[in-house]
């Protein structure tokens, strides 16, 4: 196998760093674009010549006409949502045929009862918190992600994409699953008509038949592509600090969204990856619950939210905003093995007189540490140690070279690269493909 065939794109904060834009850019120099984790909880926005596309399950590479896209075995697939996205692209003149999209037969299926379970549990826990209990709700996207991965790990009641193709198997499985899940949903207080296994089997077999041309063994397909020397681009969904093992547990998602999820989520060994591009938003955002040491609840956070249009692509929720946490970014770059960084949404910071960067944490005992704490309860107790840098007044969204950028903006990028120990190869100054600056002459991206 060619050992240097693959690039990974991964978010280094809590999501929404601008991964979709970078994947779209890098798709041009790759042949295959593969998702390895997550599901429709992701929302990747790509702007191409003024046209805006919001993708949740389809890899962002699908917007580049001649690319093969893969939904790997580590993804959880909501077939209804996938077909909505395929149909929406078709209406806009982008055809997603079986040659362009492969879906793993081993990817697990998000069923309606997973979404109901996700929403019911979140509502119950938020309700308990309102009554004075500890708040155990996570602020999920309610896309059924947790319950689907739970079924995968639990095994017996799981349904995989390949199962949708055999109506008898599906029908028999759903008879049992619906009886058990129905009782669980009732216990959670879900006030919906009982689950109907017959209707579900018919609907999901029909969805499976529509997707059948795409459903295949993607592990062999990816190995074949690598063996032929085709360049593979892995598109991370969610982000390193939401990784089930390495993020701010329990306020995380249910998959390995760091690059460590690539081998298990695609069946390709990590040795195929030669480049790892860490995507960093020039400031901090977070959606849902959980600690966020650099959150700014005042004027600066509000200004970032409005300038950056920081409202969720998937749920429309206002994102929590704050300053850049370099401790967190350096940790994520370490876990993901980043070889370069792309700093996104730099234009949003124009107009601030000064910028704050978190370079260390002050712990409850007064000591100072530059190590991240991937545990929600302990991370909630730290205070950021701030470094202040000069801001810049000029709007930079029309600038296309490093030389054009204000010196303060260049200094900001240098500080990020210096602290993290990784070169910044791309600076993004707007959502469009064109609003991208290659930062070094040696930039390979
Ligand atoms: P993802 O989930 O990491 O793909 O990111 P999202 O798409 O959820 O959120 C990033 C948002 O920022 C999208 O609306 C992008 O169109 C937009 N965006 C990406 N890069 C830039 C940039 O450099 N400047 C501005 N102003 N917007 C950007
Ligand atoms: P992209 O790919 C931002 C967050 C949710 C919630 C937690 C768990 O667009 O960067 P889940 O529905 O996964 O069980 O929710 O994780 N979350 C994201 N936040 N961007 C994402 O994806 C996210 N995917 C999950 O808000 O706090
Ligand atoms: Mg997003």
**Sequence-ordered list of residues with C-beta below 8 angstroms from that of 154, at least 6 positions apart, any chain:** none
Mean pLDDT of 223-251: 97
Q: What is the DSSP letter of 314?
A: T
How much is the pLDDT for 21? Answer: 97
Structural tokens at position 9: 């794109």
Angle between helices 112-130 and 145-154 (to 10 degrees): 110
From residue 246, alpha-carbon distances to 9, 153, 203 in Å are 17, 18, 37
CA distance 19 to 59: 11
**Sequence-ordered list of residues with C-beta below 8 angstroms from that of 112, at least 6 positions apart, any chain:** 144, 200
Q: Which domains does the chain have, with CATH numbers?
A: 6-106+213-277 (3.40.440.10), 109-211 (1.10.300.10), 280-438 (3.90.170.10)
Mean pLDDT of 256-279: 97
Instruction: Please tell me the distance between residue 315's alpha carbon and the centre of ligand 2 in angstroms.
Output: 10
Q: Which atom of ligand 1 is nearest to the CA of 237?
A: 2
Atom 9 of ligand 1 has which residue's CA nearest to it? 16
Q: Which atom of ligand 1 is nearest to the CA of 348?
A: 26
Residue 265 in contact with residue 75, Cβ under 8 Å? yes
How much is the pLDDT for 442? Answer: 65
Instruction: Please tell me the distance between residue 433's alpha carbon and the centre of ligand 1 in angstroms.
Output: 11
Q: For ligand 1, which residues put their CB under 6 angstroms from it? A: 11, 15-21, 43-45, 47, 313, 344-345, 347-348, 428-431
Mean pLDDT of 288-295: 97
Tell me which of 16, 275, 296, 325 is the catalytic residue. 16
Structural tokens at position 133: 């209990």
Instruction: Please tell me the distance between residue 237's alpha carbon and the centre of ligand 3 in angstroms.
Output: 8
Q: Does the annotation mark 16 as catalytic? A: yes
Residue 134: pLDDT band with limits 50, 70, 90 = confident
Q: How many CB atoms within 10 Å of residue 71? A: 26
Question: What string of DSSP letters covers 387-443?
Answer: EEEE---S--TT--STTTS-HHHHHHHHHHHHHHTS-EEEEE-SSBTTSEEE-STT-
| Angle, CA 266 vertex, CA 264 and CA 269 arms, to 5° | 65
Whether the predicted model's global pTM rises above the 0.85 cut: yes
How much is the pLDDT for 1? Answer: 41
Tell me which of 24, 30, 44, 325 is the catalytic residue. 44
Peptide bond preceding 183: is omega within 30 degrees of 0, i.e. cis? Answer: no
Residue 443: pLDDT band with limits 50, 70, 90 = low
The yes-or-no verdict on residue 71 having pLDDT over 80 is yes
Looking at the chain, the whole-number percentage of residues with pLDDT higher than 90 is 91
CA distance 313 to 295: 20
How much is the pLDDT for 3? Answer: 43
**Sequence-ordered list of residues with C-beta below 8 angstroms from that of 315, at least 6 positions apart, any chain:** 141, 142, 287
Strands (E), 40-100: 44-48, 51-55, 68-71, 76-77
Structural tokens at position 299: 């004027």
Provide the mean pLDDT of the chain: 95
pLDDT digits (tens, 9 = 90+) for 323-354: 999 999 999 999 999 999 999 999 999 999 99
Residue 368 in contact with residue 386, Cβ under 8 Å? no
pLDDT digits (tens, 9 = 90+) for 28-46: 999 999 999 999 999 999 9
Structure-token match 């790997």, residue found? 72
Q: Which atom of ligand 1 is nearest to the CA of 436?
A: 23
Structural tokens at position 81: 């949502």
pLDDT digits (tens, 9 = 90+) for 155-196: 999 999 999 999 999 999 999 999 999 999 999 888 888 999
Q: Does the annotation mark 30 as catalytic? A: no
How much is the pLDDT for 5? Answer: 79
Q: Is 7 helix (H, G, I), strand (E, B) or coil?
A: strand
């Amino acid at each position: 196998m060619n050992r240097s065939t693959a690039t990974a794109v991964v978010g280094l904060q809590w999501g929404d760093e601008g991964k979709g834009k970078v994947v779209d850019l890098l798709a041009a120099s790759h042949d295959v674009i593969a998702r390895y984790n997550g599901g429709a909880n992701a929302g990747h926005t790509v702007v191409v010549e003024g046209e805006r596309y919001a993708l949740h399950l389809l890899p962002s590479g699908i917007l580049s006409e001649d690319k093969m896209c893969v939904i790997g075995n580590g993804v959880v697939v909501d077939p209804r949502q996938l077909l909505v996205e395929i149909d929406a692209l078709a209406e806009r003149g982008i055809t997603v045929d079986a040659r362009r999209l492969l879906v793993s037969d081993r990817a697990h299926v998000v069923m309606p009862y997973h979404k109901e379970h996700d929403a019911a549990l979140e509502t119950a826990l938020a309700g308990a918190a309102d009554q004075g209990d500890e708040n155990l709700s996570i602020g999920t996207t309610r896309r059924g992600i947790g319950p689907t991965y739970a079924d995968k790990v639990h095994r017996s009641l799981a349904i995989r994409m390949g199962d949708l193709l055999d109506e008898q198997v599906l029908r028999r499985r759903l008879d049992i699953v619906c009886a058990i899940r129905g009782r669980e949903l009732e216990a959670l207080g879900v006030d919906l008509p009982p689950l109907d296994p017959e209707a579900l089997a018919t609907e999901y077999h029909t969805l499976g038949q529509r997707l059948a041309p795409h459903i295949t063994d993607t592990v062999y397909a990816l190995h074949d592509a690598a063996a032929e020397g085709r360049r593979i681009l892995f598109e991370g969904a969610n982000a390193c600090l939401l990784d089930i093992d390495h993020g701010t547990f329990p306020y995380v998602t249910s998959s390995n969204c760091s690059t460590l999820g690539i081998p298990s989520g695609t069946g390709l060994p990590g040795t195929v990856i030669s480049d790892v591009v860490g995507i960093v938003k020039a400031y901090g955002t977070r959606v849902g619950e959980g600690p966020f040491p650099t959150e700014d609840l005042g004027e600066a956070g509000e200004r970032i939210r409005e300038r950056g249009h920081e409202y969720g692509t998937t749920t429309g929720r206002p994102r929590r905003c704050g300053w850049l946490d370099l401790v967190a970014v350096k940790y994520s770059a370490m876990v993901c093995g980043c070889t370069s960084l792309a700093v996104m949404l730099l234009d949003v910071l124009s107009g601030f007189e000064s910028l704050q960067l978190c370079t260390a944490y002050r712990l409850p005992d007064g000591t100072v540490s530059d190590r991240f704490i991937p545990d929600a309860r302990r991370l909630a107790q730290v205070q950021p140690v701030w470094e202040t840098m000069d801001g810049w007044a000029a709007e930079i969204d029309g600038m296309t070279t490093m030389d054009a950028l204000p010196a303060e903006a260049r200094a900001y990028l240098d500080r990020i690269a210096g602290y993290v120990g990784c070169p910044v190869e791309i600076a993004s100054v707007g959502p469009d493909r064109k609003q991208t600056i290659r930062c070094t002459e040696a930039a390979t991206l």
